[in-house]
Amino acid sequence: MARIGLFPLDLALLPTERVPLHVFEPRYRELIGECLERDDEFGIVLAKDSGDLHHVGTRAAVIEVLQVLPDGRMHVVVEGRERFRLLEVDHDRSFDTATVEPVADDEEAPDPDDVGRSFETFKRLQETVGDPGEAPDPESPLFDFQLAARVDFSQQTKQELLELTSRRARMARLAVLLERALEALEIDQEVRQRAHRNGKVTPLGN
């Protein structure tokens, strides 16, 4: 078990994912400032509409400080590291802190068919959007998160993937999500092409 500072956001951060943050509230400027001084991590947790927090979050590390404004506000880039489970939240400081434990996956390996499907679908997504970037290595132990971190999934979908503790189940779910994303993208592009050709949109299915 460990204790870390919390940064609740409308964001589910995946391991390996990099996102920019605008840190403007004084309490979170204090948190990020301490983490920079100590080369330490903090916890990003997706906040619910009710104000409560999801019980599984991700450790985050500041990997780049883009700008520090005269009033103390900061623009930084953070990277997702290990997942954690909240055990107890304290409100003793300006920002919340929590006792956490790591989230561990079971030992069952992903289905190779799901790995292959996900890899091929992701490459087709890249081709469809014209992204020349290199796809993650399917042999990586974080392959599922590396793929998911490169697709603009909803925060709830990302939270679902975070909370799964079976690599096999997570990869199977990701294969389905990627195929749906590709289908939606292809339909969107088809509609745009039809509209560009004749100024009219033909209802799908005609």
Q: 167-198 and 155-163 helices cross at what angle (nearest 10)?
A: 160
Neighbour count for residue 72 (Cβ, 10 Å): 12
Cβ atoms of residues 142 and 115 within 8 Å: no
Going along the chain from its start, the domains and CATH numbers come out as: 2-102 (2.30.130.40), 112-198 (no CATH)
**CA gap 201, 192 in Å, rounded:** 8
Tell how strand 2-9 and strand 42-46 pair up. parallel
pLDDT at residue 133, rounded to an integer:
79
Q: Which two tokens stand for residue 129?
A: 């959007």
Q: Which two tokens stand for residue 142?
A: 């974080």
Neighbour count for residue 65 (Cβ, 10 Å): 13
**What would the pLDDT profile of 171-180 be if each residue is shown by its tens digit?**
999 999 999 9
18 class by beta-carbon count within 10 Å (0-12 exposed, 13-18 middle, 19+ buried): middle
pLDDT at residue 206, rounded to an integer:
44
pTM for the model: 0.87
Q: For the chain, which ranges sit under pLDDT 50? A: 206
pLDDT at residue 108, rounded to an integer:
92
SS3 sequence, 61-129? Answer: EEEEEEEECCCCCEEEEEEEEEEEEEEEEECCCCCCEEEEEECCCCCCCCCHHHHHHHHHHHHHHHHHH
pLDDT at residue 192, rounded to an integer:
67
pLDDT at residue 191, rounded to an integer:
65
**CA gap 153, 181 in Å, rounded:** 9
**What would the pLDDT profile of 72-119 be if each residue is shown by its tens digit?**
999 999 999 999 999 999 999 999 999 999 999 998 999 999 999 999
